[in-house]
Amino acid sequence: MNSSPLLKRKRPRSLQAALPSMQRIVQRFSPQIRKQGALLSLSTIGLFVEVLARLLEPWPLKLIFDNIIVPGASATPRSIPFSNLDPTMLLVGAAFAVIGVAALQAGAAYVSLVGMSLAASRIVTEIRAELYTHLQRLSLSFHYRAKSGDLITRITSDIDRLRDVTVTAAVPLLVNTVTLIGMIGVMFYMDWELALIAIAIFPLFVLSTLKITKRIHNVARQQRKREGVMAAAAAEAMGAIKVVQALSLEEMLEEMFSRENEKSLEDVAKTQQLSAGLQRTVELLVAVATALVLWRGVHLVMQGSATAGDLLVFINYLKTAYRPTRQLAKHTAMISKATASGERIVDLLDVVPDIRDSRGAISAPPFQGAVQFKNVCFGYDPEKLILKQLNFQVRPGDRVALVGPSGGGKSTLVSLLLRFYDPSMGQILVDGHDLRAYKLASLRRQISIVLQDSVLFGVSIRDNISYGSLGATDREIEAAAKLANAHDFIMGLPNGYDTLLGERGATLSGGQRQRIAIARAAIRRAPIVILDEPTVGLDNENEQAVTEALRRLTRNCTTFLITHDLRAATDADQILYIEQGCLLEQGTHSELLRLGQRYAALYKMQAAIGMPLETSMTTCHQ
Ligand code: ADP
């Protein structure tokens, strides 16, 4: 399937190897980045001015040193700038220059940082919106396989990390790198021999940085993965909290969670330990370079081929270069982490939706509701067919009952009708036209569904109902609730239609939730309705209220009812008995009873027991 890159992509093992990933991330987001071009250019100018100010920092001091403090320190002084100026004037000028350079640096740094943060926030907001829309469009088979917690991590913390790192690491890293290059350039301009000594430690520095950052990157990636697994585990446990509590799994899950949590903590400690080690190594290397420059520099000053001020600039540059390189270690760690985050987002965005509007798809006209399956075959896995050669026809307004053993393919059949998946062979026609000819949204808008355990959102009842048809008026919402037998109990709640529902509607009874779901389906006024065991698990009284609501909902609609309770199938215009993906029997209740095969046997068995037993289906199947 198309999601394989998400699940199987190998991560880069070092910072070097991460470079292509960074390039991929930047390339993928270049439209969003380009949109912030003006802001980014301004910040870049600020950045270069900041670097220039940093380079100028020791120069006033050098002038004072060479001209005022030790004017004759070297035997044969080279020409010294400003040596003909009055010392007092020079001192005043230098003092102002110190302040001016500092102010310039501060101002430029402010512009570049604020500009970059603003641009990064805007870019990240756009990426988040794109990711969210993309996730909504991905097929059910993708969501079936991907863990929702892991997706939530990507949409929240991975994206935040990307933004934070741009501002707190990437910008300073850029400033520092440009500063470093500038300083090396100025040092070579001043004295190539001293400059060579100063950068002699560079290869050592690069080697140790690369080696340690590679390890940091690996640990960081592992930690991100673990966090994703933990979030997924937590989301799963919370989603199934009823089952977890019913089976008393809390302690076991808690233990599992805390084990992962501790491992994640160990990873964090390891990353910190590694980057601290890198910082110390860099410090030591810089000390060695400073000692060498001092040693050779004093000789050069004595010989007269350099001034004391030159030496001062060199030492200052080394010290200033040392500060950024110390941060470099920290920043590379952060950037490695962010690369992993960025990659996860790009991977997700690269998953192509399985089901898309085909080229030339048109907006579906209002349906009459005639449905036809023509030689339809389908398998989630192409190797294993779940539906085999289905052929049937449904007239507008017909009530169709889908019955048969669990796992036979009934839910799969209706998901094909909703175009959650496309058939691997054959055609599904609505009013004589292939579903694929229509735009997805225009097709789904004309189909309502009520599931066994309908999902309600953590918003008000009013909003939950209006999600069936966005923009519905209060009047329409109330009418839908009345049709669904829900109005009275909603009015009995303290806040009526404004009552906020707990997660997944946990504050209501099963029957009440079902009736809100029916109201949501009703407000769509769709010509086709799908009911997937909508009354299972309800007590008698609630079942009656829900059944009544469903009757009203489905009046004049083409209805597909998946049910194990054959009493609900008796008045269907057509019953489809599906077993192991094959349509084995088809007809009305009385026709199938007369046929005297599986349906008849099952019906008699249920009538004898007095209730629908799922096992009775399976028994029959076996
Ligand atoms: P029914 O509704 O008749 O109980 P389903 O259509 O739910 O049957 O399932 C038919 C078969 O397809 C089962 O073997 C089930 O495990 C499998 N199945 C259902 N949904 C998926 C899915 N999203 N991915 C892979 N296999 C699935």
Kindly state whether residues 293 and 332 are assigned to the same domain.
Answer: yes
pLDDT at 274: 84
Q: Please say whether the beta carbons of 209 and 328 come within 8 A.
A: yes
- Domain assignment present for residue 367? The answer is yes
Q: How many CA atoms lie within 13 A of 195 on its CB side?
A: 13
Atom of ligand 1 nearest to the CA of 402: 3
- Report the pLDDT averaged over residues 481-490: 91
pLDDT greater at residue 87 or residue 81? 87
Kindly state whether residues 384 and 315 are assigned to the same domain.
Answer: no
Residue 428 has pLDDT above 90, yes or no: yes
Residue 243: pLDDT band (50, 70, 90) is low
Residue 52 has pLDDT above 70, yes or no: yes
Domain range for residue 327? 4-349
Residue 622 has pLDDT above 80, yes or no: no
**Residue 387: which H helix or E strand, with range?**
strand 387-394
Cα-to-centroid distance, 611 and ligand 1 (Å): 24
d(CA 342, CA 396): 50
Rank 135-139, 147-151, 203-207 by mean pLDDT and report only the highest: 203-207
Taking Cα atoms as reference points, which of 550, 523, 529 lies closest to residue 394?
529
Of 19-23, 419-423, 455-459, 488-492, the least confident? 455-459
> For the domain that residue 229 is a member of, what is the CATH number?
1.20.1560.10
Q: Whose CA is nearest to atom 25 of ligand 1?
A: 380
pLDDT at 250: 73
405: which 2 tokens?
Answer: 């053993």
Point out the domain boundary residue: 306, 331, 349.
349
Question: pTM, whole model, 2 decimals?
Answer: 0.59
d(CA 560, CA 572): 10
- Report the pLDDT averaged over residues 126-135: 80
d(CA 264, CA 301): 55
* For ligand 1, mutation pick of 1, 3, 386 (most atoms within 8 Å of CB): 386
Rank 207-211, 289-293, 340-344, 431-435 by mean pLDDT and report only the highest: 431-435
d(CA 47, CA 170): 12
For residue 24, give the amino acid letter.
Answer: R
Q: Whose CA is nearest to atom 15 of ligand 1?
A: 407
Cα-to-centroid distance, 407 and ligand 1 (Å): 6
d(CA 99, CA 96): 5
Cα-to-centroid distance, 430 and ligand 1 (Å): 23
114: which 2 tokens?
Answer: 């604020």
Cα-to-centroid distance, 621 and ligand 1 (Å): 16
* For ligand 1, mutation pick of 411, 422, 576 (most atoms within 8 Å of CB): 411
- Report the pLDDT averaged over residues 40-60: 92
Residue 187 has pLDDT above 50, yes or no: yes
* For ligand 1, mutation pick of 380, 381, 412, 561 (most atoms within 8 Å of CB): 412
Kindly state whether residues 200 and 234 are assigned to the same domain.
Answer: yes
Q: Please say whether the beta carbons of 484 and 516 come within 8 A.
A: yes
* Helix 250-303 with 192-199: angle, nearest 10 deg: 160
- Which residues 6+ apart lie within 8 Å of 271 measured at CB? 216, 219, 220, 223, 333
Cα-to-centroid distance, 615 and ligand 1 (Å): 17
Residue 5: pLDDT band (50, 70, 90) is very low
- Domain assignment present for residue 490? The answer is yes
Point out the domain boundary residue: 290, 324, 349.
349
Kindly state whether residues 24 and 168 are assigned to the same domain.
Answer: yes
pLDDT at 536: 80
311: which 2 tokens?
Answer: 């030496």
Cα-to-centroid distance, 547 and ligand 1 (Å): 26
- Domain assignment present for residue 303? The answer is yes
Atom of ligand 1 nearest to the CA of 381: 25
Residue 586: pLDDT band (50, 70, 90) is very high
- Report the pLDDT averaged over residues 561-582: 92
Taking Cα atoms as reference points, which of 500, 524, 513 lies closest to residue 546?
513
pLDDT at 264: 81
Q: Whose CA is nearest to atom 14 of ligand 1?
A: 407
One-character DSSP codes across 550-597: HHHHHTTSEEEEE-S-GGGGTT-SEEEEEETTEEEEEE-HHHHHHHTS
d(CA 455, CA 415): 17
- Report the pLDDT averaged over residues 527-548: 84
Cα-to-centroid distance, 140 and ligand 1 (Å): 12
Cα-to-centroid distance, 574 and ligand 1 (Å): 23
Cα-to-centroid distance, 225 and ligand 1 (Å): 29
Atom of ligand 1 nearest to the CA of 412: 6
pLDDT at 601: 92
pLDDT at 617: 42
Find the angle CA(279)-CA(281)-CA(284) to the nearest 5 degrees: 110
Residue 2: pLDDT band (50, 70, 90) is very low
Residue 12 has pLDDT above 70, yes or no: no
Strand order of the β-sheet with 558-562 is 447-450, 528-532, 558-562, 399-403, 574-579, 582-587
Kindly state whether residues 322 and 377 are assigned to the same domain.
Answer: no
d(CA 575, CA 559): 11
Residue 11: pLDDT band (50, 70, 90) is very low
Kindly state whether residues 329 and 387 are assigned to the same domain.
Answer: no
342 phi and psi, to 5 degrees? -60, -40
- Domain assignment present for residue 576? The answer is yes
Instruction: Give the chain's domain count.
Output: 3
Q: What is the 3-state secondary structure (H, E, C) of 525-557?
A: CCCEEEEECCCCCCCHHHHHHHHHHHHHHHCCC
pLDDT at 13: 46
Residues with CB under 6 A from ligand 1: 141, 144, 380, 386, 406-412
pLDDT in tens, 89-116: 888 888 999 999 999 999 999 999 899 8
Residue 616 has pLDDT above 50, yes or no: no
Cα-to-centroid distance, 190 and ligand 1 (Å): 76
Strand order of the β-sheet with 433-434 is 387-394, 371-378, 425-430, 433-434
pLDDT greater at residue 213 or residue 605? 605
- Report the pLDDT averaged over residues 351-372: 86
pLDDT greater at residue 581 or residue 469? 581
Residue 149 has pLDDT above 70, yes or no: no
Find tokens 């969670």 and name the residue. 257
- Domain assignment present for residue 533? The answer is yes
> For the domain that residue 570 is a member of, what is the CATH number?
3.40.50.300
Residue 562 has pLDDT above 80, yes or no: yes
Q: Whose CA is nearest to atom 7 of ligand 1?
A: 411
Residue 8 has pLDDT above 50, yes or no: no
- Report the pLDDT averaged over residues 244-248: 67
Residue 235: pLDDT band (50, 70, 90) is confident
Taking Cα atoms as reference points, which of 171, 605, 135, 40 lies closest to residue 349?
135
Q: Please say whether the beta carbons of 523 and 450 come within 8 A.
A: no
Kindly state whether residues 422 and 463 are assigned to the same domain.
Answer: no
Kindly state whether residues 363 and 327 are assigned to the same domain.
Answer: no
* Other CB atoms within 10 A of residue 486 CB: 29
What is the average pLDDT score of the chain?
82
pLDDT at 611: 61
Cα-to-centroid distance, 413 and ligand 1 (Å): 10
Alpha carbon distances (Å) from 562 to 35, 47, 98, 574: 50, 65, 82, 12
Cα-to-centroid distance, 410 and ligand 1 (Å): 8
Residue 193 has pLDDT above 70, yes or no: yes
Q: Whose CA is nearest to atom 24 of ligand 1?
A: 380
Kindly state whether residues 149 and 180 are assigned to the same domain.
Answer: yes
- Report the pLDDT averaged over residues 243-263: 75
Q: What is the 3-state secondary structure (H, E, C) of 303-372?
A: HCCCCHHHHHHHHHHHHHHHHHHHHHHHHHHHHHHHHHHHHHHHHHHHCCCCCCCCCCCECCCCCCCCEE
pLDDT greater at residue 458 or residue 124? 124
Rank 22-26, 183-187, 393-397 by mean pLDDT and report only the highest: 393-397
- Domain assignment present for residue 39? The answer is yes
d(CA 484, CA 489): 11
Q: Please say whether the beta carbons of 333 and 275 come within 8 A.
A: yes
Of 133-142, 425-434, 464-473, the least confident? 133-142
Of 111-115, 504-508, 572-576, the least confident? 504-508
Point out the domain boundary residue: 298, 316, 349.
349
* Other CB atoms within 10 A of residue 226 CB: 17
pLDDT at 504: 47
Atom of ligand 1 nearest to the CA of 406: 4
pLDDT at 619: 35
- Report the pLDDT averaged over residues 56-70: 85
Residue 599 has pLDDT above 90, yes or no: yes
d(CA 567, CA 48): 79
Q: Whose CA is nearest to atom 17 of ligand 1?
A: 407
Kindly state whether residues 287 and 211 are assigned to the same domain.
Answer: yes
Q: Please say whether the beta carbons of 270 and 216 come within 8 A.
A: no
- Domain assignment present for residue 580? The answer is yes
Atom of ligand 1 nearest to the CA of 415: 6
Q: Please say whether the beta carbons of 569 and 588 come within 8 A.
A: no
Percent of the chain with pLDDT over 90: 28
Q: Whose CA is nearest to atom 11 of ligand 1?
A: 407
- Chain-centroid distance of CA 79 in Å reads 62
558 phi and psi, to 5 degrees? -75, 125
- Domain assignment present for residue 542? The answer is no
- Which residues 6+ apart lie within 8 Å of 333 measured at CB? 213, 216, 217, 220, 271, 274, 275
Kindly state whether residues 207 and 335 are assigned to the same domain.
Answer: yes
- Report the pLDDT averaged over residues 285-293: 87
Of 82-91, 132-141, 207-216, 286-295, the least confident? 132-141
Kindly state whether residues 566 and 479 are assigned to the same domain.
Answer: no
pLDDT greater at residue 70 or residue 298? 298
Residue 119 has pLDDT above 70, yes or no: yes
Q: Please say whether the beta carbons of 576 and 582 come within 8 A.
A: no
Atom of ligand 1 nearest to the CA of 581: 10
Taking Cα atoms as reference points, which of 327, 318, 328 lies closest to residue 199?
318
Cα-to-centroid distance, 412 and ligand 1 (Å): 6
